[in-house]
Structure 1
Amino acid sequence: MTRRFDEPHEAFAAAGLQVFERGWLSSNNVLFAGGADDDATLVDSGYFSHESQTLALVRHALGERQLRRVVNTHLHSDHCGGNAALQAAYGCEAWIPAGEVDKVRRWDSAQLTYDATGQHCPRFAAHRALRPGTAVTLGGRSWEVIGSPGHDPESVVLHHRELRILISADALWENGFGVVFPELEGSAAFDVLASTLDQLATLKVDWVIPGHGRPFGDVAAAIDRARRRLDSFRSAPEKHSLHAAKVLLKFHLLEVRRERVDSLFAWAESILYLRLIHRDHFAAEPMRGWLTNVLGELLRSGAVRRDGEFVCDA
Structure 2
Amino acid sequence: MPASALPLPPDLQFIERGWLSANNAVFVRGVSAVVDTGYCIHAEQTVSLVEASLQGAPLQRIVNTHLHSDHCGGNAALQQRWPQARTSIAPGHAQAVIDWDENQLSYRPTGQDCPRFQMDEVLQPGTDIQLGEQRWQCHAAPGHDPHSVILFEPASRTLISADALWENGFGVVFPEIEGTAAFDEVAATLDVIERLQPRLVLPGHGSAFSDVGTALHTARQRLERFVQSPERHALYAAKVLLKYKLLEWQQLPLAQVQTWLAATPYYGLLHQRYFADQDLAQWHASLVADLERSGAARREGTMLINQ
- Is the structural similarity TM-score above 0.5? yes
Change (3 A) 1:118 1:7: closer
Letter in 1 for 2:8: F
Within 2, Cα distance between the matches of 1:210 and 1:64?
A: 27
Report what 2:146 is aligned to.
Answer: 153
Report what 1:196 is aligned to.
Answer: 189
Moved over 6 A (4+): none
Question: Within 5 Å, which residues of 2 pair with 1:80-95?
Answer: 80-91=72-83, 92-95=85-88
Report what 2:60 is aligned to.
Answer: 68
Post-superposition offset of 1:204 = 2.1
- Structure 1 residue ranges without an equivalent (≥5): none
Question: Is the Cα–Cα contact under 8 Å of residues 17 and 24 in structure 2 kept in the other structure?
Answer: yes
When the two chains are superposed, the root-mean-square deviation of aligned CA atoms in Å is: 1.2
- Structure 2 residue ranges without an equivalent (≥5): none
Within 1, Cα distance between the matches of 2:243 and 2:34?
A: 26
Give TM-score scaled by structure 2 length: 0.97
Report what 2:23 is aligned to.
Answer: 28
Of 240, 248, 271, the residue aligned with 1:247 is 240
Change (3 A) 1:179 1:136: same
Of 9, 12, 17, the residue aligned with 1:17 is 12
Task: Name the SS of the counterpart of 2:93 in structure 1.
Answer: helix
Post-superposition offset of 1:63 = 2.2
Post-superposition offset of 1:13 = 3.6
Give CA-to-partner distance per residue, 1:236-281, whole Å, 9 cap, x none. 1010000000011111111111111111011111111111111111
Give CA-to-partner distance per residue, 1:209-261, whole Å, 9 cap, x none. 00000000111110111000000001110100000000111111111111111
Report what 1:77 is aligned to.
Answer: 69
Letter in 2 for 1:143: W
Within 1, Cα distance between the matches of 2:22 and 2:100?
A: 21
Task: Name the SS of the counterpart of 2:118 in structure 1.
Answer: coil
Identity %: 47
Letter in 2 for 1:122: P
Within 2, Cα distance between the matches of 1:294 and 1:269?
A: 12
Letter in 2 for 1:171: A
Task: Name the SS of the counterpart of 2:161 in structure 1.
Answer: strand
Within 2, Cα distance between the matches of 1:180 and 1:312?
A: 27
Question: Is the Cα–Cα contact under 8 Å of residues 69 and 93 in structure 1 kept in the other structure?
Answer: yes
Question: Is the Cα–Cα contact under 8 Å of residues 161 and 204 in structure 1 kept in the other structure?
Answer: no
Give TM-score scaled by structure 1 length: 0.95
Question: Within 5 Å, which residues of 2 pair with 1:128-167?
Answer: 128-167=121-160
Report what 1:262 is aligned to.
Answer: 255
